[in-house]
Amino acid sequence: MTVNPRDEPSFSTELEHLDAEIRGCVRCANILAEHPANPPSRPEIVVPRPILSTPFSASIMLIGQAPGLTEYDSGLPFQGPAGSGIRGLFAECGVRLDEFDRVVYQTSAAKCFPGRKQNGRHWEDRQPDPKMLQMCSGFLRNQIEIVDPRLVVCLGGVAAKAIDRLRGYPIRVLGDVVGTVEEWGDRYIIFLAHTSPGSRFLNEEKNKRLQARGQRLLEHAVGLLRESGGLIRGQSDRP
Ligand code: SF4
């Protein structure tokens, strides 16, 4: 795998426009209105609140499933326990915690928190409804085209399926893709399992090995980008 940086890109007005369009989106209001935020303590219904990085051109794009309750409250991506896990994983692969938000453009297959549901005695984040994913897929496509990352890191089965749909691929199960790298035009996609505490995929030893392989691929790609000076492209001065 060779990951070459693009020529120095300038901050994109196009990306700012897309960012504003996404942040103003309320298409899923009716779907979200059926779901409480966190029923044991927060019975209020969820409202559309798209969560994504502030716009900047990045060599690495991270695509998760959907924001969780912590992200919903903070307005920032990858903040909760799952976010800490993935930030730690990237740190192990060469992206320091203090540079993560400048280096990795963060988004998800569905940009809005889908609410929580009961699973036995526990409460966990709901998966986004298929309709939400469908309505958000155009945004994801546009984000990838405009941010134009060299490397897409796909986190979990929902994100992998969203990427497969965008590429017109048959939908695959998580075990078929975790730990692999694929070319997509002039960029690469690395598939990882979700690091969320609620994810059961990584309970199995064979899946842990797949994840470790994916981490080695990520470490290799980050090393190539850093060596070539392409890890940090540029960033908005917006907060
Ligand atoms: S999930 Fe996507 S399509 Fe739905 S309201 Fe949020 S930004 Fe809009």
The angle formed by the CA atoms of residues 70, 53 and 135, to the nearest 5 degrees, is: 85
Predicted confidence at residue 2, as pLDDT, reads 61
Residue whose CA is closest, atom 8 of ligand 1? 25
In this prediction, residue 212 has a pLDDT band, given cuts at 50, 70 and 90, of very high
Ligand 1: atom nearest CA of 26 is: 5
The SS3 of residue 124 is strand
Token pair 């300038």 is found at: 10
Paired with 116 in beta bridges are: 125
pLDDT at 171 over 70: yes
| In the chain, domain spans | 13-227
* 26 Cα: distance to centroid of ligand 1 (angstroms): 6
Phi, psi at residue 180, to the nearest 5°?
-115, 160
Predicted confidence at residue 7, as pLDDT, reads 47
Count CB-CB contacts under 10 A for residue 41. 9
Question: What's the average model confidence in pLDDT over 221-228?
Answer: 94
Nearest to 154 by CA among 230, 58, 61, 79: 61
Residue whose CA is closest, atom 4 of ligand 1? 28
Ligand 1: atom nearest CA of 25 is: 8
Residues contacting 176, CB < 8 A, separation 6+: none
* 195 Cα: distance to centroid of ligand 1 (angstroms): 23
Residue whose CA is closest, atom 3 of ligand 1? 136
**Per the confidence metrics, is the pTM higher than 0.95?**
no
Question: What's the average model confidence in pLDDT over 82-89?
Answer: 93
The per-residue pLDDT of the chain, averaged, comes to: 90
Residues contacting 223, CB < 8 A, separation 6+: 94
The yes or no reply on domain 13-227 and CATH 3.40.50.10490 is: no
**What percentage of the chain has pLDDT greater than the value 90?**
73
Ligand 1 binding residues, C-beta < 6 A: 22, 25-28, 48, 50, 110-112, 132, 135-136, 139
Question: What's the average model confidence in pLDDT over 33-56?
Answer: 89
* 128 Cα: distance to centroid of ligand 1 (angstroms): 10
Go through 83-120 and write b for each residue having 16 or more CB atoms within 10 A of its CB, e for each that does not. bebbbebbeebbbeeeebbbbbbbbbbbbbbbbbeeee
Question: What's the average model confidence in pLDDT over 111-134?
Answer: 90
Ligand 1: atom nearest CA of 128 is: 1
Tell me the pLDDT tens digit for each residue of 176-202.
999 999 999 999 999 999 887 777 899
Residues contacting 221, CB < 8 A, separation 6+: 1, 3, 151, 181, 188, 190
For residues 81 and 74, what is the distance between their CA atoms, to the nearest angstrom?
Answer: 13
